[in-house]
Structure 1
Amino acid sequence: MNRLNVRDFGAAGDGGTLDTAAIQAAIDAATPGDIVFLPSGHYLSFTLALRSHVHVSLEAGCVLEAADPARHDGRYEAAEPNPFDLYQDFGHSHWRNSLIHAIGVEDVSISGPGLIDGRGLTREGPGSRWRKQAGEFPLSMQGLSAAEMAELSPEVSAMAGLGNKAIALCRARGVRLQDFTILRGGHFAVLATGVDDLVIENLLIDSNRDGIDIDGCRRVTVRGCRVNTPNDDAIVLKSSFALGARCATEDVVIENCQVSGFDAGTLYDGTRGRIQMFSPDRDRVTGRIKIGTESSGDFRRIRINGCTFERSRGLALETVDGGTIEDVVASNLTMREITTAPIFLRLGARLRAPEGAAPGAIRNIIIRDVTAEGILPDYAALIMGLPAHPIEDVTLDNVRLVYDGGGAAADVARQSLELEDAYPEPSMFGRTPAYGLWARHVRGLTLKGFSVTTTTPDARPQTLFEDVTLG
């Protein structure tokens, strides 16, 4: 094993010189087992491609900054063609347009304790090219102007030369990301698609959109990470059609992680700001752990344990594109300042998938040993299936929810539509007619040690069950 210093290949590390070619030369010169290291310094770069059996070390005092095509002489690698880009957003459909990509490789790692600063990346990207378009955006965005929507979802042509991911992994095996920090990661700080045997450990991510996205991956561990993403999800499992097949996400462990929606950059600087109140979708700040929304494939054997949610939306399990979510255990969760529903299970029928897709399933879900406090009163915990496709076998065991209260009696009589093809968010049903738990179209709901209280009176009932069979 050799250690290759990028400065020996011409990297200046002065924050002004483009070091792309020098860093890539070091990576390309490495032999299996070698470590390419970036010593203390400020390295400015466009796209870097990892190679099999090569390990990158971001050493103490190292800053790897994503260059900006508007300010620096260069461009990011072009987004590769993808004939399967109809069914998921642009960001999910491409990997090369990133600061670092690892495509078709095995046995690679990036380790810390340095910093990746995605200053020159964009957080925006077009939506999918799916013709139906139902459920493409949350209902909370219906009031946005055409100009606002164009800014949030630009045309594909506007992405030319831009990078929108800090790290993109695709069809890889044996990947480890450990101990470093990502600030301003673009659309995705980490996007892993079709990756087997992935370990993400002890990262600090403070980003302007998604944190860690795991899409169609197997045997994944996300451990000890702190992820702050007020504008989108912090740690999210997906199963899109980006690789041209219904690729399951399975055997995933998320443990001892902290997710939050503090002001962007303020987890990193330690101030934990609370000025920003809403995400770009016009709901409250995000920063949660979620399964979905991209869900054409299945999710199996997921374990979420020992995690903390703070100033964020709650735990969400959503399948709306035909996939099945099954055998999920979420345990030992602590939630504070929850901005929407603390628990949200949604089986829908958006069906953003190839022709012939049918509604999937949610079954065999255990959520236990959960304490959530400071929950805004708008949305109860929600378990929402469809009339012909009920959610099955859900257990809430030792779950304690403490709401702020203040709900009005007028909310009890309000009727809510099924909204089967809408984008899934707790706000889709409006202010809920119960303050603690609302379940609809569920077979086998078991409540053990389920407790709901409010800090101020609430005129709504604590629970509402519609077409529910209790276990």
Structure 2
Amino acid sequence: MSGAFNILFLWLVVSISGFAQKSTGVWDVFATGAKGDGKILDTKAIQKAIDQCHAAGGGKVYLHNGQFLSGTIYLKNNVTLWVEAGATLLGSPKAAEFPDQPSEFPTYDEHPLTSKALIYAENVRNISIEGRGTIDGRGDLIDNRGPNDPYLRPSFKYRPRIIHVRGCENVQIKGVTLQNAASWVQTYQACKNLIIDGITVDSRENKDVENPNREHAVKHRNTDGMDLVDCEVVRVSNCFITSGDDGICLKSFSPDRACRNITISNCVVSSGASGIKIGTETAGRIEDVVVQNCTVFDTWGDGLAIMTVDGAQIRRVTFSDISLRNIKRSGIFIRLGTRNKKYGANTVVNKPVLQDVMISNVQGSRLASLGCSVTGLPDYPVENVLLRNLNLEFEGGITGVKSTPIPEKADAYPVGTMFGATLPAYGFYVRHARNMTFDQVQLRFANEDQRPAVVFDNTEELEIRGLKAQSAAQTPDLIRLINTRKTNIADSRPTSAVATFLSVYGSQSSAITLINNQLVLSKQTFFFETPSLKESVKESGTIQ
């Protein structure tokens, strides 16, 4: 009996012990050796917890009550990295702690650069980074160490991102704060089913947007707030982003991939470059993108930007219910160019397309005196653009205007100032566009500006309805058409005195119709570059 009892007792101990040690689905990094003191490197301890969590089938790796110093850690299938409120994941100040990641995916340049990251994942599923804690890239330490420090490598090549996720499915980033990155804060490439919700990005080196010398006053690290590269089925919402470079940016590195089925909503963005931007890197397709209910303010670059310059085919992009304030370049910048940069081993450059763009319900104040622009190329016009219900106020202040030719700059880097410090119009300069509509657009300036409100050059199927635009007494014309075909201007009016409502230039101008415009404040209705152009215009219902 005694031997049988001992065997039974031993069986019960093992059974109870096994039950007590059964996984709860949570792996505490302190249990795998983390110190959490912000001084001793915890990379191995955190990675051990991730590996154990993954091996067990998935769960939560838990960082709490500490500061966890780390180099690169690798997320794996079915693992949630949870950073609890009050806890901080700290990036190492040593670039050597962030190895380059060989990858099947193309990078920003022709060589495998910019692949370092604090948190890295490639070709895995069901991963997330969550919590109310902080992930600090400590980019200021990596870039600004002493001249004799072996880790002083300020080039873009050596600066790690905070998050870099490639080729992954079912990714969620929620609640966390990402701050002080050394490079792009977070990059998601060729991912599918991505949710980014309620996060804060605080990575702006030069927080003074009024300082024009942003890249030298404080070292500029190209800290994009969020980059979506060739990703599909993406939902970004409820985020606050203040970044040193572009705020939210959609890109394409692969001519055979697409960045598509993306919604961005309820976000607040302030940046050292553009606020919400498609481009600059644009090789494949970018389509079915909706941006709504967002505020963009204090940007050193453009407010809203859509561009294809490396062969991308951009279709079906909608911006709506946007507030813009204090934009130092173009409030709205749309560009089709042919820079034709290649990425990775790709050798193909597609023929560019930029069409089916809707921008509606946009309020803007303190927009740069530069003006806004929509420009394509003679062989590649921008097509099917609708601007509706815009209420924009520009800084203005440009007087003594001289007409100078605007170069094409087909292969130039696309940015609002690419055609010069000011555009021919204080409101919108449009060139090489087909089937474009301005519907219920209001334009004004804070300081007297003697440029036309809008200038259109080489356009076809242009419709202007309900335009209300301010002018100055010395303004030669409110609307200027240059080589435009099939243009309809209706129910529009100047809101202050102007010499001429409409000027027509260019021998190709034809089929221009004016209907029911209120021209009480216009000294004359038309100016024609040559008398023969008068035959190109038909007018009815004008109120004078």
TM-score (norm 2): 0.71
Q: 1:123 to 1:425 in 2, by over 3 A?
A: farther
Q: C-alpha offsets along residues 347-374 of structure 1, whole Å, 9 cap, x if unaligned?
A: 0000113555254011010000000101
Number of the residue aligned with 1:427? 417
Query: What is the alpha-carbon distance in structure 1 between the residues aligned to residue 399 and residue 193 of structure 2?
Result: 49
Gaps in structure 2 of 5+ consecutive residues: 1-23, 144-151, 205-222, 464-544
Report the equivalent of 1:363.
355
Contact 2:274 2:304 in 1 (8 A): no
Q: Distance in 1 between matches of 2:412 and 2:153?
A: 19
Q: Give per-residue Cα distances to partners, 1:141-181, cap 9 Å, x unaligned.
A: xxxxxxxxxx998385xx3xxx5110000000000000010
Structure 1 residue 26, shift from structure 2 partner: 0.5
Question: Aligned runs of 1:63-462 on 2, under 5 Å?
Answer: 63-69=88-94, 75-80=97-102, 84=106, 88-89=108-109, 95=115, 97-120=116-139, 154=155, 159=158, 163-208=159-204, 209-229=223-243, 231-241=244-254, 246-261=256-271, 285-312=272-299, 313-353=302-342, 354-355=346-347, 357-377=349-369, 379-410=370-401, 412-430=402-420, 431-462=422-453
1:463 maps to which of 433, 440, 454:
454
Which secondary structure does the structure 1 equivalent of 2:34 belong to? coil
Do the aligned residues in 1 keep the contact of 2:82 with 2:131 (CA within 8 Å)? yes
How many residue pairs end up in the alignment? 405
Residue 398 of structure 2 aligns to a residue whose secondary structure is coil
- Distance in structure 2 (CA, Å) of the matches to 1:457 and 1:407: 7
The whole-number CA distance in structure 2 between the counterparts of 1:105 and 1:183 is: 25
Q: Does structure 2 conserve the Cα–Cα contact (< 8 Å) formed by 1:305 and 1:331?
A: yes
**Following the alignment from structure 1 to structure 2, what is the Cα–Cα distance between the partners of residues 18 and 445?**
57
Amino acid in the other structure paired with 1:24? Q
Please state whether the residue corresponding to 2:417 is helix, strand or coil.
Answer: helix
Residues in 2 aligned to 1:355 and 1:191: alpha-carbon distance in whole angstroms: 23
Q: Which structure ranks higher in relative contact order (CA pairs < 8 Å, sequence separation ≥ 6)?
A: 1
Say if 1:239 and 1:296, in contact at 8 Å, map to a contact too. yes
SS in 2 for 1:392: strand
Tell me which amino acid in the other structure corresponds to 1:154.
Answer: S
Structure 1 partner of 2:65: 40
Deviations 1:67-93 (A, max 9, x none): 0117xxx621234266955xx337985
Say which SS state the counterpart of residue 306 (structure 1) adopts.
strand
Matched residue, 1:61? 86
For 1:178 and 1:83, how far apart are their aligned partners in 2? Answer: 25
Q: Deviations over 1:77-113 (max 9, x none)?
A: 234266955xx33798554x21000111100111020
User: Is 1:79–1:94's contact at 8 Å kept on the other side of the alignment?
Assistant: no
**Whole-angstrom CA distance in 1 between matches of 2:134 and 2:153:** 27
Look up the match of 1:271. none
CA distance in 2, matches of 1:295, 1:122: 32
How far, CA to CA, are the matches of 1:319 and 1:450 in structure 2?
Answer: 25
CA distance in 2 between counterparts of 1:173 and 1:389 reads: 35
**Helix, strand or coil: the match of 1:409?**
coil
Displacement after TM superposition at 1:381 (Å): 1.3
- Post-superposition CA distance 1:408-436 (Å, at most 9, x none): 232x4022100000000011001111100
Contact 2:385 2:436 survives alignment (8 Å): yes
* 1:211-240 C-alpha deviation (Å, 9 max, x unpaired): 1000000000110111111x3101000011
* Equivalent in the alignment of 1:265: none
Alpha-carbon distance in 2 for matches of 1:340, 1:120 = 27
Paired residue type of 2:100: A
SS at match of 1:167: strand
**Residue type of the partner of 2:431?**
R
Partner of 2:510: none
Cα deviation, residue 25, structure 1:
0.5
- Following TM superposition, where does structure 1 have runs of at least 4 consecutive aligned residues deviating by more than 4 angstroms? 81-85, 90-94, 120-124
Aligned counterpart for 1:14 among listed residues 29, 34, 37: 37
Which consecutive residues of structure 1, in runs of 5 or more, have no partner in the other structure? 125-150, 262-284
Question: CA deviation digits over 1:217-274, x for unaligned, max 9?
Answer: 0000110111111x31010000113xxx52110000000001103xxxxxxxxxxxxx
Q: In 2, are the aligned partners of 1:289 and 1:316 still within 8 Å (CA)?
A: yes
| 8 Å Cα contact 1:169-1:195 kept in structure 2 | yes
- State the shift of 1:187 in Å: 1.4
Amino acid at match of 1:366: M
Find the aligned partners of 1:105 and 1:121 in 2 and give their Cα distance: 31
Tell me, in whole angstroms, the C-alpha distance in 2 between the residues paired with 1:328 and 1:56: 33
For 1:43 and 1:84, the matched residues in 2 are separated by: 31
Residue type of the alignment partner of 2:31 = D
Instruction: Tell me, in whole angstroms, the C-alpha distance in 2 between the residues paired with 1:56 and 1:11.
Output: 15
Aligned CA distance change for structure 1 residues 47 and 349 (closer, same or farther; 3 Å): same
**Hey, what does 1:281 align to over in structure 2?**
none
The alpha-carbon distance between structure 1 residues 423 and 153, as it changes in their structure 2 partners (threshold 3 A), is farther
CA distance in structure 1 between the aligned counterparts of 2:440 and 2:57, rounded to whole angstroms: 54
The answer as to whether partners of 1:65 and 1:120 remain within 8 angstroms in 2 is: no
Structure 1 or 2, whichever has the larger Rg, is 2
Structure 2: distance between partners of 1:371 and 1:402 = 8
TM-score normalized with structure 1 length: 0.82
Contact 1:228 1:287 in 2 (8 A): no
- Counterpart CA distance in 1 for 2:459 and 2:86 is 56
Moved more, 363-372 or 163-172: 163-172
SS, match of residue 45 in structure 2: helix
